A and B are shown apart, each in its own frame.
Chain A
Amino acid sequence: MLRRLFAPRPVEGIERGIPVSIVSMTDVVKSYPSAQKGGAPVVAIDGVTLEVERGDVYGIIGYSGAGKSTLVRLVNGLEKATSGSIVVNGTEITSLPERSMRAVRGDIGMIFQQFNLFNSKTVARNVAYPLEVAGRSSAEVTARVAEMLAFVGLSDKAKNYPDQLSGGQKQRVGIARALATSPSLLLADEATSALDPETTSEVLSLLARVNRELGVTIILITHEMDVIRSLATKVAVMDGGRIVERGDVFDVFSQPENAASARFVSTVVQGIPSPVEVATLKARHEGRIVTFSFRDGNASQAQVFLDLAAAGIRFELVYGGINDIRGRAFGHLTLALTGDDAAIDSVLARIATHSEVTEVSR
């Protein structure tokens, strides 16, 4: 008992033999029959394999129509997969009849872009709804509703109707409703896309609490890279129904490998000049324009300046930015270098051994 209390808390489930993955998708395809008779079917999800581990905040990003909303609806069976396997909480759900699917949904919360609150019910009745569906006793429902409203900070709004609330408050009610039955997984479908920036950060910090304090795994769909940056631990980039890149948020942000990911990253990451900006820089500054990229705050930034100074190269900082992702930093600095061309070439070659060097213009 004591050992259990003081031992570092293991990932929930391991000791009970539950696999670490809470959602495991393998080669999932979802296609819809064509709108026209005899037309080719529309493929929304084109062979997706995805593992979401317990405790993750897994961000899925992509442009509208990339298939991310469909993907998240496959996880709680609101959409049926055409082929492939989806295992949620140890249950293979692709072959599950609708009636059994309803029980699985009780352990998956969902929040929506448009909140989707029941306008005919009070805030308290909205939060109570999933509990009533689950057949809890009325005493249990009352206690749990009070607890959830306190958690999202809306105890005083229990008797109000949704149309009397602000957007941020509505989404907090949505979160309370989604978590009422203590699910282990929360699906967030563009949960902050209808909110202003201030309310967005309020809802994001609530979701961070949900993950940290309640241990709820979150799958987060968004087209806003900023949401991924502030909340997600892992990210998958979707394009044309496929996952084109995935991994640790820091890795994808600091070194995107796919063109679509790079476009998303550039919307929030400061420091890499666009081609238009390069032209402006070139007109404004003499010499060669070179971008140095640094990851994880290693010593290489200082080394770059030492190397340049040692070679007698004059340099001027013309563009750049340092980004912080959950305590890890990376950055891009663009310098205009003037001096002997051969000397610049040799010093760039030396710097390239410890830092990333991109000559954007000469």
Chain B
Amino acid sequence: MDKLIDLLPLLGEAAWETLYIVAASLLFGGIAGLFIGLGLYVTRPGSILENRFAFTVINVLVNIFRPIPFIIFIAAIQPLARAVLGTGIGNGALIFAISIGAAFGISRIVEQNLLTVSPGVIEAARAAGAGPFRIIRTVLLPEALGPLILGYTFVLIVLVDMSAVGGYIGGGGIGNFAIQYGYRQFNPAVTWAAVLVVILFVQLIQFFGNALARRIMRR
């Protein structure tokens, strides 16, 4: 227990690091996932920019990358991280790996939520003379915003999960803290302190996500 009190400043630092890693991954991976998901939605047969070839390519790409276990993906993507960032280790490389790995999963969530928008509403916009890009901007995204926020809330929690293996490539964060000071030093109290912090994060994220979505959907 004394050991845990000694480690509290490190725990605080690790918690901040997790927040930073998750926020940066959400920014990059979330935006990339939004575009890939939009691509899936608009090119699917019968949609506003129907294109069988583009749809097949994106669809296959997503299906290839999405099921790779993240702990393997993080190692597999290391050479690319080295080429792009100049380093394959540390928080930068971790954010790089999470952003790419998560983007494909996020794209499916985006696609699913866009599909909840009634085709009739899209047709009404087309009948008013709107083109595909205007429809995406002024109808599709605003109409799907509530479900999208809930989807991204779910994603954010997945990102917390993904960030926990950061220690394998020299990244920090709460997962690294739990492994290094709790698991490897046979100190379950330390591990559980890290677990409590993660539970707190997840609760807060879900709470704010729900509140925001409720506000947008006005119910």
Residues of A in contact with B (beta carbons under 8 Å apart): 76, 78, 99, 102-103, 105-106, 108-110, 112, 114, 116-121, 129-130, 132-134, 161, 163, 177, 187
Contacts and interface: CB of A to CB of B under 8 A. Distances in A.
B145 A78 contact: no
Contacts of A112: 120, 123-124
B218 A105 contact: no
A133 B121 contact: no
Given A109-B127, A116-B118, A130-B128, 9 more contacts: A76-B127, A105-B129, A116-B123, A117-B124, A118-B139, A118-B143, A120-B142, A133-B129, A133-B130
Nearest to B135: A133
Contact of B131 (A99, A109, A121, A163): A99
Contacts of A106: 128-129
Nearest to B132: A98
Which of B125, B129, B134, B139 counts the most A-chain CB atoms under 10 A from its CB? B129
Contact of B127 (A105, A118, A120): A105
B162 to A, nearest CB: 31
B143 A134 contact: no
A119 B145 CA distance: 11
Contact of B129 (A114, A130, A161, A163): A130
A120 B123 contact: no
Contacts of A118: 121, 124-125, 139, 142-143
A129 B126 contact: no
A78 B129 contact: no
A78 B127 CA distance: 7
Interface residues of B, number: 19
Contacts of A105: 126-129
Given A118-B139, A118-B142, A103 B121 contact: no
B173 to A, nearest CB: 36
29 contacts: A78-B126, A102-B130, A103-B129, A105-B127, A105-B129, A108-B127, A110-B124, A110-B127, A114-B118, A116-B118, A116-B120, A116-B121, A116-B124, A117-B124, A118-B121, A118-B125, A118-B143, A119-B121, A119-B143, A121-B142, A129-B125, A129-B128, A132-B138, A133-B129, A134-B129, A161-B218, A163-B218, A177-B124, A187-B127
A314 B22 CA distance: 95
Nearest to B125: A129
A133 B120 contact: no
A133 B137 CA distance: 12
Nearest to B124: A116
Contacts of A163: 218
A108 B129 CA distance: 9
A293 to B, nearest CB: 42
Nearest to B216: A120
Contacts of A108: 127
B123 A78 contact: yes
Contacts of A103: 129
A121 B125 CA distance: 13
B174 to A, nearest CB: 37
A284 B134 CA distance: 68
By Cβ-Cβ distance, the 5 closest A-B pairs, closest first, are: A116-B124, A130-B128, A116-B120, A110-B127, A120-B142
Contacts of A132: 138
B124 A120 contact: no
Contacts of A133: 125, 128-130, 134
A117 B125 CA distance: 9
A189 to B, nearest CB: 10
A117 to B, nearest CB: 8
Which of A112, A117, A132, A133 counts the most B-chain CB atoms under 10 A from its CB? A133
Interface in B191-219: 218
A129 B129 CA distance: 10
A121 B145 CA distance: 12
Contacts of B131: 99, 102
Nearest to A114: B120
A240 B218 CA distance: 44
A110 B218 CA distance: 28
B156 to A, nearest CB: 22
Contacts of A177: 124, 128
Contacts of A161: 218
Which of B128, B134, B145 counts the most A-chain CB atoms under 10 A from its CB? B128
Contacts of B143: 118-120
Nearest to B142: A120
A117 B122 CA distance: 10
A333 to B, nearest CB: 46
Contact of A102 (B121, B124, B129): B129
